[in-house]
Amino acid sequence: MELSDILTKDSIIPCAKVTSKRQLLQLLAERAADVAKIDSQSAFETLMSREQLGSTGLGNGIAIPHGKIKGLGHVVAIFARLDQPIEFDAVDDQPVDIAFMLLAPEGSGADHLKALSRVARCLRAEHMVDELRATRDKERLLEVLSTPAEHIAAA
């Protein structure tokens, strides 16, 4: 699976102005609600409850909030590049400035995990993250994120 399969221009927030983890998740949930026609409150609660299990901040300023939603048609992805880094309780205690949210339908076991591992893998490639941080242009962000898996080749 490629990220270009689940991302569109609408699912990219090039310069999110948020000041807390809660606000960020709220913003992501609202955008996801717009894109996928779901209830933003339940999306937000899903993301929050996953954070209870342990922060989805991977380190290096990157977070991948995710969760399952009943009745969703397919995997929904929202990418946000933050204007100012925020506290996210990440493993390395670094503030987060790149967030990639994934919501998957309930019962989509393997699909969800594939998307997750793909995103995690992608955001682990340093040159990729550098490029994401270097631009505020929607098109460019989408282009960088759409690099095929083999070309990132970071395992």
Positions touching other proteins (CB under 8 A) are: 1-2, 4-8, 49-50, 52-56, 58-60, 64, 66-68, 74, 91-92, 106-114, 116-117, 120, 124-125, 127, 142-143, 146, 148, 150-155
72 vs 70: CA distance, rounded Å = 6
66 counts as catalytic: yes
DSSP secondary-structure letter at 3? Answer: G
Residue with tokens 């409850």: 49
Task: Using the minimum distance from each CB to other proteins, give the nearer residue, 2 or 83.
Answer: 2
Task: Using the minimum distance from each CB to other proteins, give the nearer residue, 51 or 81.
Answer: 51
Element (H, E) at 124: none
CB of 17 to other proteins, least distance (A): 26
Residues 94, 23 contacting (CB under 8 angstroms): no
> What residues act catalytically?
66
